[in-house]
Amino acid sequence: MLRYLFISILFVLSVSAAAQSSRLSSMGSKLGVDTQGGSSRPANSDDDEERPVEPKITVIKDQGLSLGVDLAPVIMRFIKEEDTGIAFVGRYGVKNKWWANAEVGFQHTNYSNDNFDYKSNGTFIKIGLDYDIFQSEDFPVNDNIFVGFRYGYAWQMHESGRFLIVDDYWGEYKGSVDKTSVNSHILEAVFGIRCEMLRNLYMGWSFRARFLVASAHDNTLDPYSVPGYGSYDSKAGIGFTYTIEYQIPFNKLWKNKEK
């Protein structure tokens, strides 16, 4: 229930941010007009009875290198207090609708209860592509709606300082597990929104369908949590990101230089 409320609030905030961004549509957006496509008729035809050719409108958005921070691990700390982490994101516009992405993050897990202590320190890197499906003539803004994918690799060192399992018949099984490494491979399907809040400053969120495709570790202790993925005991799950990014618009600078 708490999780639902949290995500609903996040969703409402982002929708209102998108609306606000639409009102600021004059900032940083361009409306390009392409009169080449769709007709072989010359534009200055003197045949007045012919219907005028509808120009094909293409929204050209600012693209460049974006660098930012993902605040989802910080927010998740309030829900899953054993995990502490931060992630940094970078994205680069490779074509008008295509963006290359890279994410790097760190996660520390410290869990303890009556019969189990667990610690883990790890990092992850994710790379992938996003496709911007948002093209609106009515709202020619720099905002994006992305669908995409990520491949991720996570490395962590984990240990259990103490564990206790009680069996009704054989009694207690207890001990500790020394520090060992874990290597995991992750795939994600991404759906997300990114809004330009101020000139070149973006806020966005994304939902991720995550799949833990492989994990290599010594056969003593399974990880409690995998950095950049979540709980190890479910091989598929849903995650989210909440990013604040600054976009360096050097694609535009290059265009200006060429002029």
Partner 1 sequence: MKSKLLILCIVITNLVACNNGDDMLLSYQHSLQTGFYSHNTKKDTVLTAIKAWGIGHEDSLLYDGSQSLHELFLNLNMNENRTQFVICTQMLRDEIDVYYSHHLQPVSGSGGITMEIRIDSIKHTNVFMDSLAIRQRDIKYNESTQNVEIFVY
- Position among 98, 116, 131, 153 found at the interface with partner 1 (CB under 8 A): 116
Q: Is 78 in the site for partner 1 (CB under 8 A)?
A: no
Q: Are 105 and 85 in contact (CB under 8 A)?
A: yes
Q: Is 207 in the site for partner 1 (CB under 8 A)?
A: yes
d(CA 212, CA 156): 15
- Position among 184, 225, 241, 243 found at the interface with partner 1 (CB under 8 A): 225
Q: Is 221 in the site for partner 1 (CB under 8 A)?
A: yes
Question: Which one of the spans 25-33, 61-69, 214-222, 243-251 is the region binding partner 1 (CB under 8 A)?
Answer: 214-222
CB of 259 to partner 1, least distance (A): 34
Distances (CA, A) of 252 to 19, 28, 247: 25, 11, 11
Q: Phi, psi (5° rounding) for residue 143? A: -65, 155
Residue 211: partners with Cβ closer than 8 Å, 6 or more residues away: 186, 187, 188, 235, 236
What would the DSSP string read from start to end of 52-121?
PPPPEEEEE----EEEEEE-HHHHHTTTSTTEEEEEEEEEEE-SSSEEEEEEEEEEEEEEEETTEEEEEE
Each residue 54-73 as x (binds partner 1 by CB under 8 A) or -, in order, gives --------------------
Each residue 142-171 as x (binds partner 1 by CB under 8 A) or -, in order, gives ---x--------------x--xxxxxxxx-
CB of 173 to partner 1, least distance (A): 4
CB of 10 to partner 1, least distance (A): 9
Q: Is 74 in the site for partner 1 (CB under 8 A)?
A: no
d(CA 33, CA 28): 17
Residues that bind partner 1 (CB under 8 A): 3-4, 7-8, 11, 15, 111, 113, 115-116, 118, 136, 145, 160, 163-170, 173, 177, 191, 193, 207, 219-225, 231-234, 237-238, 240
